[in-house]
Structure 1
Amino acid sequence: MGLIRALFLIIHIIVVALLCGTLLNAYVPPKIFGYLNMLSLGFPVLMTVHFCLTLFWIMTWKKRAIVFLLISLVFFNPVRRWINYTPDSGKEGSLKIISFNTKNHAYAKHKNEDELFKFMDKENADVVLFQENRFEGDHPGYLQYPIVALKTRHKLVKHGNIIETASNGNAFYADIEIHGKIIRFINVYLEPFMLEKSMVKPTADADLNTVKAKNLIRRLVPTFKLHQEQIVYIRKAVKESPYPVILTGDFNSVPNSWEYYHLSEGLQDAFVVAGTGSATSFHDYKFPIRIDYIFSSKEIKPRSYKVDRSVKLSDHFPVIATFDF
């Protein structure tokens, strides 16, 4: 038993060290050390192992359980970016926003744009921001940029492209007047990893799995670096905005990543403020992840947040939030 405990302790120390590594993503950019950003992808698994081992120390009456419990407090906010609880106030805000990656309507071929418009009519949102989307024809209040788009029933004051470099990602801003006030909406689709399920699915062949892992790293790290370049343009649009900002979209990045820390800088995560349950929105793989977000300036108060898992028109679920301002 003593040998098992010693082994568990070594594993636990390694897990905590890796968890601490995710905190360094706030400071170490991908162009300096891109491999560090990969730890954020494993955060839920690492946190689960940490929780189980801490529970083991508690059940075996070991004093080290106190140390690991105290360490857990450091990860309270990082955990809330994945799973959260906020008391239900029973009140929704006066401003309703939807962010939805529609995967160009290719996820379910029997579905069509009519289904999407039915969903939007039912929700009656003030602003809907799309990623990987292009509608056919002319629609009132619809604004299309490459890859990203927006639909609103309010007055569009000004808009413009944000990411100036040629890439598979894009972002634009739209200044919209709502109830006599102007808000800058920024719709983001960061560079995709262009992954296929076969690239991440393990096999019984250990050598093939090794090759897959190396190829995956070769795909991830350069994309992290492209994200860093794209975020420079997005942060500029946020900082130079003369109006309060709502920043939303598919960031192709998980919580506690370098992208999350720097896109959320000076803004509040609507899920952390007003959400309950899991924020995972991308469901195409067996292990769902959170890569869709809605952030807002401090003066725009999140009142509710949900991931609508009943809408199965894409490999993403729509993210819906309400605000007061």
Structure 2
Amino acid sequence: MLIWFFTLGSFWVLSVAASDESTDDISILSYNVRELEGYYRNPYPDVVSRIMNFILEEDSDIICFQEYARRRPVGENLNAYPYQFYYSYTGSKRYSPLAIFSKFEILSGGSLDFPNTSNNAIYADLMVEGDTLRVYNIHLQSLKFRPGSLKRENPIRLFNRLGKTIRKQKEQVDILLAHTKSSPYPYIICGDFNNTQYSKVYRKLKGDLRDSFLEKGNGLGRTLLFKVLPFRIDYILIDPDFEITSHTNYKVEYSDHYPVRASFRLPEK
């Protein structure tokens, strides 16, 4: 039990407080949709429709997509979100597509343009209940392997690539944290960190922010479809002044990631 607690404790939450989400709370969903191509082990021919139906049924106020393929049928299906910010290109440079969809007005948005990579982070400033809230949607450096190919990897090459990935992630985290320091607004960081809750990358990003899973999650926090270990690499980190009222990990296998959702309340004025 002690080994379990110290090694698995932060992605297995027991005896958490019950959700007290209300219809007045603000909800945010983060989902790496893998270019809307479906999970390669279980490919659905209608995966785009399945993902869109899931999104619409959950009816979150804010959605952060990673690896989002901007396709016209998708946009038409998300008319409930009149405010949308996309980013995938700058000049000749292609970034892995990121998008923020919102029911709240987007006042401005931007990109951090991580150097020498296709990974990136974007942000949008939203007008929420008379206040401005900044949402960062991030996709940190990927290791670039499929779980099913792990056994075929050369261990030395895999180890070297892992080291390069972690160094690149730390560089990206430094860029992001420097940007947050200049933010005039409270902010949320969510997305695909491509690293576990035990990593320095996660600890630096979390800082004083509150991890919605640790506060309101339940059971396993797995977000990556990986048979061997229940990796948690997708997060929603919320301003410490906000009250987190719920967290949900969904088991929908339409991508190689599971979506996560949290709800919160702004401080009373």
**Structure 1 residue 196: Cα displacement:** 3.0
1:96-245 equivalences under 5 Å are 96-107=27-38, 108-137=43-72, 138=75, 140-146=82-88, 147-197=97-147, 199-201=149-151, 212-245=154-187
For residues 27 and 120 of structure 2, the distance between their equivalents in structure 1, rounded to whole angstroms, comes to 23
Greater Cα offset, 78-87 or 272-281: 78-87
The residue type equivalent to 1:166 in the other structure is N
* Alignment match, 1:59: none
For residues 254 and 272 of structure 1, the distance between their equivalents in structure 2, rounded to whole angstroms, comes to 13
Change beyond 3 A, Cα 1:169–1:186:
same
CA contact (8 A) 2:65 2:98 kept: yes
| Deviations 1:138-162, CA, capped at 9 Å, x for gaps | 5532221122111111100111111
**Structure 1 residue 215: Cα displacement:** 1.9
For residues 147 and 70 of structure 2, the distance between their equivalents in structure 1, rounded to whole angstroms, comes to 27
For residues 197 and 319 of structure 1, the distance between their equivalents in structure 2, rounded to whole angstroms, comes to 20
Unaligned runs of 5+ residues in structure 2 are 77-81, 89-96
* Match 1:269 to one of 208, 211, 214: 211
* Alignment match, 1:256: 198
Change beyond 3 A, Cα 1:50–1:190:
same
* Alignment match, 1:82: 11
For residues 193 and 168 of structure 1, the distance between their equivalents in structure 2, rounded to whole angstroms, comes to 12
**Structure 1 residue 79: Cα displacement:** 4.6
The residue type equivalent to 1:119 in the other structure is F
* Alignment match, 1:50: 3
Give the 3-state SS of the residue equivalent to 1:144 in structure 2: strand
1:324 equivalenced with 2:265 (yes/no): yes
Change beyond 3 A, Cα 1:299–1:90:
closer
1:9-24 equivalences under 5 Å are none
**Structure 1 residue 109: Cα displacement:** 4.4
The residue type equivalent to 1:82 in the other structure is F
Give the 3-state SS of the residue equivalent to 1:134 in structure 2: coil
Change beyond 3 A, Cα 1:295–1:197:
closer
Unaligned runs of 5+ residues in structure 1 are 1-47, 52-71, 203-210
- With the length of structure 2 as denominator, give the TM-score of the two structures: 0.84
The residue type equivalent to 1:113 in the other structure is V
Change beyond 3 A, Cα 1:150–1:200:
same
Higher strand share: 2
Greater Cα offset, 121-130 or 82-91: 82-91
CA contact (8 A) 1:156 1:177 kept: yes
RMSD: 2.1
**Structure 1 residue 199: Cα displacement:** 4.2
Higher helix share: 1
Task: List 4+ stretches of structure 1 deviating above 4 A.
Answer: none
The residue type equivalent to 1:50 in the other structure is I
1:91 equivalenced with 2:21 (yes/no): yes
The residue type equivalent to 2:214 in the other structure is V
CA contact (8 A) 1:174 1:185 kept: yes
**Larger of the two Rg values belongs to structure:** 1
**Structure 1 residue 273: Cα displacement:** 1.3
| Deviations 1:259-301, CA, capped at 9 Å, x for gaps | 1111101211111111111111101444331000000111122
For residues 48 and 68 of structure 2, the distance between their equivalents in structure 1, rounded to whole angstroms, comes to 10
For residues 240 and 174 of structure 1, the distance between their equivalents in structure 2, rounded to whole angstroms, comes to 14
**Structure 1 residue 324: Cα displacement:** 0.8
Change beyond 3 A, Cα 1:301–1:80:
farther
For residues 242 and 164 of structure 1, the distance between their equivalents in structure 2, rounded to whole angstroms, comes to 22
CA contact (8 A) 1:134 1:144 kept: no
**Structure 1 residue 180: Cα displacement:** 1.3
